[in-house]
């Protein structure tokens, strides 16, 4: 089997998650890694057992590297994805795809023009029961979607001393919680229901109006504490928490809540989708089961089990029922489909994986949610 050589850019929280997932696939070889400095790249490459440490420009000149994974802070996604496509590399980019719609639009056009494989890491779609819900909806098991309740709750930014580049608009964009995790929620919600959100009414809240910025580097989720003099007080104007009312193209409605300051909720995405036949309920912190609600009979608990699931959902499962799969497996399953396309050498007509176009869609929704919060009024999409 021809191994596909891969380069990864950025090794914060998610970069190593990409590397681990790629190493679980038979046809990939992570051979190069870039970081902000060559010294840091060398240090990380040694830690992660990767052969080459290089700068981004050097990576693009390596002919044997066919794919680049962009795992850097949001403000770098546009320039690095553009340069990689122009260098003839297939690209897997972290979400959000870019900092604004213009950047995303240009990337979608460039990807189309090159025909290269382009994907966005909306990995939460690849929890097998998320796909099972999508297929059951397509097979009309759910009926018409009446309403949707969604939430994505975390607590890694709970304290005013919890700090990260995502808090800085010049690095993260004007939205934080909605762009960072709301994008996953909206992507999964539209993916499962097949609905398009046509209008939003948003209300943001910033709990910590000031945060204590560490004067020394601290990594995502580390929650490490420094001495008081090691912090600088900085004003925060991005949202810790947001509520958004949704209107869908079938005339029905929904609501989502995202928060990065919900004590005890580590990384919980929840969906409750009520239909004219049944209700589906699912929770990413217990991803191997889903609840199916019935009006005229007992409710059901559906377990992730290849022998019970639809073939499309079975295709993103690697272990039998009861052998639970989780967050790390979602990236592996996404990359499996992306690298099948890369092995075929071009973007498929109907990709089963999230593409730059899906990245554009999430940015569009994010921008409309931001506008609605600013205007404190409904905004159409
Ligand atoms: C931080 O909120 C984060 O790492 C997100 O950036 C990821 O997209 C999400 O999957 C987990 O949490």
Sequential pLDDT tens for the chain (381 residues): 789 999 999 999 999 999 999 999 999 999 999 999 999 999 999 999 999 999 999 999 999 999 999 999 999 999 999 999 999 999 999 999 999 999 999 999 999 999 999 999 999 999 999 999 999 999 999 999 999 999 999 999 999 999 999 999 999 999 999 999 999 999 999 999 999 999 999 999 999 999 999 887 665 555 556 777 888 999 999 999 999 999 999 999 999 999 999 999 999 999 999 999 999 999 999 999 999 999 999 999 999 999 999 999 999 999 999 999 999 999 999 999 999 999 999 999 999 999 999 999 999 999 999 999 999 999 999
What atom in ligand 1 is closest to the CA of residue 260? 2
Residues 328, 332, 334, 335, CA torsion sign: positive
Ligand 1 centroid to residue 181 C-alpha, Å: 6
CA-proximal residue: ligand 1, atom 6 (nearest): 180
**Residue 232 CB-half CA count within 13 A:** 5
Q: Are 172 and 100 in contact (CB under 8 A)?
A: no
Ligand 1 centroid to residue 64 C-alpha, Å: 31
Q: Is 267 in the pocket of ligand 1 (CB under 6 A)?
A: yes
pTM of the predicted structure, to 2 decimals: 0.96
Indicate the Cα dihedral angle 140, 334, 336, 292, nearest 10°.
Answer: -30
To test the ligand 1 pocket, which listed residue (10, 11, 12, 13) has its Cβ within 8 A of the most ligand atoms?
13
- Locate 114 and state its tokens: 């090159």
Q: Is 181 in the pocket of ligand 1 (CB under 6 A)?
A: yes
Identify the bridge partners of residue 67 per DSSP, sorted by sequence position.
6, 90
What atom in ligand 1 is closest to the CA of residue 184? 8
Q: Are 41 and 35 in contact (CB under 8 A)?
A: yes
């Amino acid at each position: 089997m021809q191994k596909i050589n891969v380069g990864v850019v950025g090794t914060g929280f998610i970069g190593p998650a990409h590397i681990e997932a790629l190493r679980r696939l038979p046809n990939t070889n992570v051979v190069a890694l870039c970081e902000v400095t060559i010294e840091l790249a060398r240090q990380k490459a040694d830690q992660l057992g990767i052969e080459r440490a290089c700068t981004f420009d050097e990576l693009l000149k390596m002919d044997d590297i066919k794919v680049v994974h962009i795992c850097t802070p949001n403000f770098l996604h546009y320039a690095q994805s553009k340069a990689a496509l122009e260098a003839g590399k297939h690209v897997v980019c972290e979400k959000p795809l870019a900092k604004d719609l213009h950047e995303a639009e240009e990337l979608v056009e460039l990807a189309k023009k090159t025909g290269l494989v382009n994907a966005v890491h909306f990995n939460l779609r690849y929890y097998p029961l998320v796909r099972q819900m999508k297929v059951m909806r397509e097979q009309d098991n759910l009926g018409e979607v009446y309403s949707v309740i969604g939430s994505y709750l975390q607590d890694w930014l709970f304290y005013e001393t919890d700090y990260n580049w995502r808090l800085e608009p010049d690095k993260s964009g004007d939205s934080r919680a909605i762009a960072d995790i709301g994008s996953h929620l909206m992507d999964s919600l539209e993916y499962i229901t097949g609905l398009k959100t046509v209008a939003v009414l948003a209300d943001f809240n910033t709990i910590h109006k000031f945060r204590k910025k560490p004067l020394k580097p601290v990594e995502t989720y580390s929650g490490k504490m420094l001495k008081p003099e090691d912090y600088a007080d900085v004003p925060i104007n991005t949202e810790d928490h947001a509520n958004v009312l949704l209107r869908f193209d079938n005339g029905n409605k929904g609501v989502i809540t995202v928060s990065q300051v919900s004590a005890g909720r580590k990384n919980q995405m929840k969906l409750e989708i009520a239909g004219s036949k049944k209700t589906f309920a699912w929770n990413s912190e217990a991803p191997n089961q889903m609840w199916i609600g019935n009006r005229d009979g007992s409710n059901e608990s559906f377990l992730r089990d290849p022998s019970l699931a639809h073939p499309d959902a079975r295709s993103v499962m690697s272990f039998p029922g009861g052998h639970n799969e989780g967050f790390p497996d979602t990236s592996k399953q996404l990359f499996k489909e992306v690298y099948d396309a890369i092995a075929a050498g071009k973007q498929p007509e109907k990709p089963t994986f999230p593409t730059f176009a899906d990245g554009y869609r999430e940015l569009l929704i994010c921008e409309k949610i931001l506008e609605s919060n600013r205007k404190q009024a409904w905004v159409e999409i």
